[in-house]
Chains A and B, each alone.
Chain A
């Protein structure tokens, strides 16, 4: 059972903007940074967003992150077919003294 709650699926058409939510509580998102990963089948996760809204070098600015209170979201603008993947949020949980992942959101580009 994930400590962070994500919608199981999301979809959009090419060029659209989609948003994926991640809900937690004061022990994780409310008190710590949120990270977002992209996971393609058969490949290792790729870091898209760190410290709530920062993009690592090489990640397109079409990807953006935000956080408010105990929730966070990942937005993808100018949707492309290659964005079709699973997306996971993650944060440190103070009560568990460990990292927790969301259950993942499968993004389909229609």
Chain B
């Protein structure tokens, strides 16, 4: 059974960089897209971006200038960096592995941006 385990700092100050990593345990790492999605408090889901196992990435245009998603196939990890965070970046961040009928998610990480 595939499990995704994510970790990273949960409390940031404005202008700092958000950094989260997601590890994939079990199953194949190839032929999937690896995504980051977030949910601000009381709001809906927002797609941040995705990366293929080969490293080809797509980003939400509204976040593209501040976001980098990377993948390390040797470790079966993928990561998210968001620079210059503000209070608007406060959200639960999820990592996910998807391909058609496969949709495996991490446990979610609450990231709070506050001075």
Q: Which residues of A contact B (CB under 8 A)?
A: 2, 37, 39, 44-47, 50-51, 54, 56-57, 86, 88, 90, 96-104
Chain B interface main SS type: strand
Residue ranges of B at the interface with A (Cβ–Cβ < 8 Å): 35, 37, 44-47, 49-50, 58-61, 94, 96, 98, 100-103, 105-108
Flag if B105 contacts A45 (CB, 8 Å): yes
Which residues of the partner chain A approach B59 to less than 8 Å between Cβ atoms? Answer: 98
Complex Cα distance A60/B35, Å?
26
Give bound CA distance, A54 to B101, whole Å: 8
Contact A88 B44 (CB under 8 A): yes
Closest residue of B by beta carbon distance from A48: B103
Task: Output the nearest chain B residue to A49 by Cβ-Cβ distance.
Answer: B101
Contact B44 A103 (CB under 8 A): yes
Instruction: Please name the residue on chain A nearest to B60 by beta carbon.
Output: A98
Q: Which residue of A lies closest to B4 (CB)?
A: A44
CB neighbours of A39 from chain B (8 A): 45
